[in-house]
Structure 1
Amino acid sequence: MYQLYYYPLNASMAPHFVLEELGVDFELLLVDRKSNAQKSADYMALNPTGRIPTLVDGDLILFESPAICIYLAEKHPESHLIPKQGSAERALFFQWMMYLTNTLQAELMLYFYPQRHTNAENTATQIAEAQEQRITEIFALLDSELKNRDYLVGDNLTVCDHFLMMLAVWADEIKKPPLQFENLSRYLKKLSRRKAIKHVCEKENLSLAEYA
């Protein structure tokens, strides 16, 4: 049985979505960020980065949220959560997965933690403001890509969609959140009606009322 070390609304949310979508047996193990448990010796022995999430599958211990999502999708090919090898859609899948993780997630982290990126006094606010504009531009691009489409890659749900749902949840308090974009809003509201998404949000205490 899979074990997912998680914290609500953290980067573990996307793997949590995927596990629920697959309908497999798994155990959720809370890593309490409030007490800095991700830096404890026991957890660091599993994940030396001291970050969340971590997936345990038998002898395999895997960290980094996108890597976990891709691993789960490839281990369960019957789910079609990753396109077939050699297909054009698989190439596009990796394009968007890299964009979501290396661009959108990275920009969001800089927005949330600007103080980590400057030694100058009174500059964190300016960094966050600049990041907010950059993030808005990224969501505008994604909104354009989703015009007349239900999923980010091809005609089927993939883990890219789970990952984007997580990042959209993170960004719900910026000045122009994802739900204020026409195509993104339609897309996210449809995703929010999936049983797996609902179940995870119930477990992680996230209301989906604004997605109704």
Structure 2
Amino acid sequence: MNWTCVHTGKTGDLMARDMLSKPLLWGVGTVRTLRAHWVLNELGIDYETQPVKPRTDTMERADFLAVNPDKKVPVLQHGDLTLVESSAIMIYLAETYADRAPGLIPQDRIQRARVFEWMSFISTELDAASLYTIRKHQDLEHIYGSAPIAVDSAGDYFLRMVRKPARVLVSGQRYLLGDQFTLPDILLFTCLRFADRMGVQRPAEFDTYYNMLAERPAFQAAERANYP
């Protein structure tokens, strides 16, 4: 997965205006929308939510289709910016409001690189390659077709790949980057929750970590916003 930074060419006045505008988040009801809600709550940002949920009539709303005709959530609107993809939204918010929670993406260049390394790994190997394959051919087989061998293989692959963060956590670290809670922890938690829902048993090595993150006030606020 490639991370792309786009220079908007905005003047300082325009950037300041965007900072003063209230973020608008489209999307509820999935682990991917939960990620965006969680970051917003970690940052303590006052934001608005449009409760658009995949595979419901809300996806056909004209105002939503004007924002994202691809019918995908989450979508963030902030000033002149419209942004899709949960990881991109997480990074944008953490960097835009870095003064509110500077640890979400550390300033140290090595630690920043580790953040993006973990985010790439989790988004591709755990989410897209494993869990969403199960969802497509299990929960959504009426659309994508039944593929029990693919489902079983994807579950096995998830359990192999998730050993990588497990090794880090059982070594004595509280979080993926040591003692600092960062964006990859949000991604990992949501994938562990996704795995539970897809019938893939969460390895016991994650129990302490999972329960600790579930106690975060920002997570609990995000849960309420994401599952109204």
TM class by shorter-chain length?
Answer: 0.7 to 0.9
- Count residues with an aligned counterpart: 201
Structure 2 residue aligned with 1:135: 158
Instruction: State the 1:168 CA deviation.
Output: 1.3
Structure-to-structure mapping, 1:59-208, within 5 angstroms: 59-78=80-99, 79-80=101-102, 81-84=104-107, 87-106=109-128, 107-114=130-137, 124-147=147-170, 148-174=172-198, 176-178=200-202, 180-182=203-205, 184-205=206-227
Does structure 2 conserve the Cα–Cα contact (< 8 Å) formed by 1:140 and 1:181? no
Using the aligned pairs only, state the percent identity: 29
Amino acid in structure 1 at the alignment position of 2:56:
S
Deviations 1:145-203 (A, max 9, x none): 2121111124211111111111111111455522x322x21111111111011122233
Amino acid in structure 2 at the alignment position of 1:108:
L
Of residues 38, 54, 74 in structure 2, which corresponds to 1:33? 54
Q: 1:51 to 1:176 in 2, by over 3 A?
A: closer
What is the SS of the residue equivalent to 2:174? Answer: coil
Q: Using the alignment, how far apart are the partners of 2:24 and 2:123 within structure 1?
A: 23
Segments of structure 2 that go 5 or more residues without pairing to the other structure are 1-21
Amino acid in structure 1 at the alignment position of 2:126:
L
Does structure 2 conserve the Cα–Cα contact (< 8 Å) formed by 1:89 and 1:154? no
What is the SS of the residue equivalent to 2:32? Answer: coil
Instruction: State the 1:63 CA deviation.
Output: 0.5
TM-score (normalizing by structure 2): 0.79
TM-score (normalizing by structure 1): 0.85
Does structure 1 conserve the Cα–Cα contact (< 8 Å) formed by 2:26 and 2:73? yes
Structure-to-structure mapping, 1:36-47, within 5 angstroms: 36-47=57-68
Deviations 1:71-116 (A, max 9, x none): 001112221210115x211111110000011211112111110378
RMSD after superposition: 2.4
